[in-house]
Chains A and B, each alone.
Chain A
Amino acid sequence: MRISFLIHNAYGIGGTIRTTSTLAGTLAEQHDVEIVSVFRHREEPVLAPGGKVRLRHLVDLRRGGPGYEGDDPEHGRPAVVFPAAEGRHGQYSALTDRRIAEHLRRLDCDVVVGTRPGLNIHIARQARRGPVRVGQEHLTLGTHSERLKRVLRAHYPRLDAVTTVTEADARTYRRLMRLPGVRVEAVPNGVPVPAVAPADGSGKWVIAAGRLAPVKRYDVLVRAFALVVAERPDWRLRIYGAGAERARLRALIEKLGLYNHVYLMGPANPLEAEWVKGSIGAVTSSLESFGMTIVEAMRCGLPVVATDCPHGPGEIITDGTDGLLVPVGRTEAIAAGLLRLIGDDELRRRMGAAALASSARFDPAAVAARYESLFAGLRTRGGLRGGLHRTRGALLSTAFQAKDRGRSALRKVRAA
């Protein structure tokens, strides 16, 4: 198969870029794979896909380079096709509208995959007839604004498939969006096998990692760890990552007198070398679209104590077998979970081994195989049925747009 990914910026750093790079690299072992990056702001990608993946860009933003297009007047005019309700709209322009449209009109592939809502909409509206159209949701439907949801509902009927990273989000899509004939399927993110040997469970360290952002609730983790230290002062906590919450967390650590037990380590990359220094992973988020760090820790042989928040953790961890699920925001419950693993070496090692085994299902090869069978199924559907589906999708799409236009017109009247 010839597979073409469309991504915001393959040259940056982020979850979607990492995942796409991993997936494309794995698919490229069997298929002809390209990644088309709307933007390119530096010479070399940080998270380079495997050697066989072709990578190119549509708009050159390399400052000081001969091809720099950031000053193009067309790039100064707002995007029309890329939806205004999408978070990245400000970075898109009349220039990106045109370049993406040209790219999608000339697609030479069997499957085209969009990696964020705005690009999925480009694909739904502009991809030439022929290639299977897949839109990936790397976040969740629930985290999008009502405005964006309406836009997605209007255009997604013209996709062949929407993929989510959790079953929970796939259910939400099926429930809230009317997408007849569109396959909605959950395919988790792939996490490669770590290049270091797994943890042996002997280190008296709990490890957490992620952006220091409010949604990660590291404040709850630090408070929970105060309860852990009261019982087991020989155990310590390392939190890896950078972010706006750093100063607040630092203040909390000082206020609770935990500066000998809780350390803000700063960003680390790759993380696998850091996970294996600990024996337990901790995730206390209030929301996880997927839960990449949980899988990363498990692939390093760590049992993870995670809050049972929407959407990912409950689909990754089997509570009591390869990790522990605890209620969101409850410091006592999180501390109890940590202390249960801290206090029982045998249980901790057993769960660590189970985590190592069960997380193998997130191997990029396994994930790529699921995409392969999805793509293959959609391709055989092609022909007449696909044509019918497209026509129906286009009709539905028009109907929804009219309806939503009516709704927003009504709203404007009300607001006036």
Chain B
Amino acid sequence: MTPTQPTVPERAGDRPFTAAAPPAPTTTSEECVIVSAPPLSAGAGNPSADCIADSAGGLTFDLDAPGRAADAHWSAALVLRPRGGEEDEEVRLPLTPNGTGRLRAVLPSTVALPEGRWDVHLACGEEPPRRLLPGLADLRSLVDRRPGPSTSPLAVRIPYATKHGNLSLRSWQRAPHAEAGDVLVEPEGITVRGTLYRVEDPGAWLAGAVVEARCRRAGPTVTVPLTAAEGQDFTFALPFAGLCAEWRGGPQVWDLWLRGPEGTPARLARILDDVADKKHVFVYPARDVTAPHAPAQAGPYYTADNDLSVRVVERPPAAGR
């Protein structure tokens, strides 16, 4: 007797996502947490795709052949469509037998996938493409990813289950890329450690680099120097005082950029792991700041795109006491 393997993968249930609401969201994420399989009631009957990630940024999809398995693959393709994009932007990946009776599609890191969210469909012959459900996602090689030296854009693709339970990919493509590491939140400001990727000479690039905090409302930019740089790694400290000086109430967001001596600046982001949506997982405390305008609270957070920003808000009446 052998153990039964359920033919339908287990699905994340109707357990509500109970993450504490962030203080004052400036962007709302449509997506739910890392659930490598769909919540219930999603596209019942649609096939699901298992997914394996390699450390270079490539993804392999395996799925059970739909319909008549014998000839299904002749016309079958995995179709990636950009969320809110046009049909002619779609990426088609051929599905071929993988040798164990299933169909396989490969998305190598070298296939350009512009930044954004991509919905994964299965196309068979003349039928309209159907959304795929997430199966088992083996993303272990993405955890603590440390890409090697290169100057071509860094490709990051993280598969995830949407809140409707469908399979989508989150894609980033960055050169240069400034990966945020540990973020220390102190009473007077934040200290961030990061690593620079995809520039010719990281040492020289960082030697002339500064960090810019750009206010999202048109207006000022606050610039701070790096406090340390060694090889690809850098550290900077960003005091809250500078961000609060001109603040006149209401939520205000500052996006953080690493700007080198020349070329494109790099948005500080955290994308080199398996967590598609950082916002509710990488959560940092906010600190009370005495701003000229009114008592304020400031703290770092990850945006819906996993970019690092700092938010200044009015201090809630009883916050932290």
- Residue numbers of A with Cβ under 8 A of B are 12-13, 21-22, 25-26, 28-30, 42-44, 46-51, 190, 192-193, 195-197, 199, 203-205, 242-244, 246-247, 250, 254, 259-260, 263-270, 272-274, 276-277, 363-365, 368-369
Contacts and interface: CB of A to CB of B under 8 A. Distances in A.
A43 B42 CA distance: 12
Contacts of B280: 266
B100 interface: no
12 contacts: A12-B13, A21-B6, A43-B44, A203-B140, A203-B144, A244-B18, A259-B285, A264-B281, A267-B33, A269-B37, A274-B34, A364-B3
A47 B10 contact: yes
A365 B1 contact: yes
Interface string B125-144: 00000000000111110011
Contacts of B15: 13, 242, 267
Contacts of B9: 270
Contacts of A273: 36, 136-140
A259 B183 CA distance: 9
B245 interface: no
Nearest to A254: B285
Contacts of A43: 44
B5 interface: yes
Given A192-B5, A259-B284, A265-B34, A250 B137 contact: no
Contacts of A274: 34, 36
Interface in B172-194: 182-185
Contact of B144 (A29, A204, A363): A204
| Closest CB pairs A-B (n = 9) | A266-B33, A13-B13, A25-B4, A269-B12, A50-B4, A260-B182, A364-B3, A254-B285, A365-B1
B283 A250 contact: yes
B218 interface: no
B224 interface: no
A43 B5 CA distance: 22
A365 B2 contact: yes
Contact of B282 (A48, A242, A263, A267): A263
A259 B41 CA distance: 34
B140 A266 contact: no
B136 A266 contact: no
Nearest to A200: B140
Given A273-B137, A365-B1, 10 more contacts: A26-B1, A29-B4, A46-B40, A50-B7, A192-B3, A247-B20, A260-B182, A265-B281, A273-B138, A274-B36
Contacts of B111: none
A12 B15 CA distance: 10
Contacts, number: 137
B140 A246 contact: no
B92 interface: no
A266 B138 contact: no
Interface of B: 1-20, 32-37, 40-41, 44, 50, 136-140, 143-144, 182-185, 274-275, 280-285
Contact of B10 (A28, A46, A368): A46
B40 to A, nearest CB: 6
B52 to A, nearest CB: 9
Nearest to A365: B1
B4 A266 contact: no
Nearest to B19: A266
A244 B33 CA distance: 17
Contacts of B10: 46-47, 269-270
A368 B7 CA distance: 19
A43 B183 CA distance: 46
Contacts of B140: 196, 199, 203, 273, 276-277
A126 to B, nearest CB: 31
Given A46-B10, A203-B144, A243 B18 contact: yes
B7 A51 contact: yes
A368 B1 contact: yes
A195 B4 CA distance: 11
A46 B11 CA distance: 6
A51 B6 CA distance: 8
Contacts of A270: 9-10, 36-37, 136
A70 B279 CA distance: 40
Contacts of A193: 3
B249 to A, nearest CB: 25
Contacts of B139: 273, 277
A369 B1 contact: yes
Contacts of B1: 26, 29-30, 365, 368-369
A166 B20 CA distance: 36
B44 to A, nearest CB: 6
A269 B3 contact: no
A29 B11 CA distance: 23
A266 B281 contact: yes
Contacts of B35: 266-269
Contacts of B282: 259, 263
A397 B29 CA distance: 58
Contacts of B275: 265
Given A246-B20, A269-B35, A365-B3, A44 B13 contact: no
B138 A276 contact: yes
A268 B144 CA distance: 19
A299 B159 CA distance: 25
A46 B274 CA distance: 25
A48 B8 contact: yes
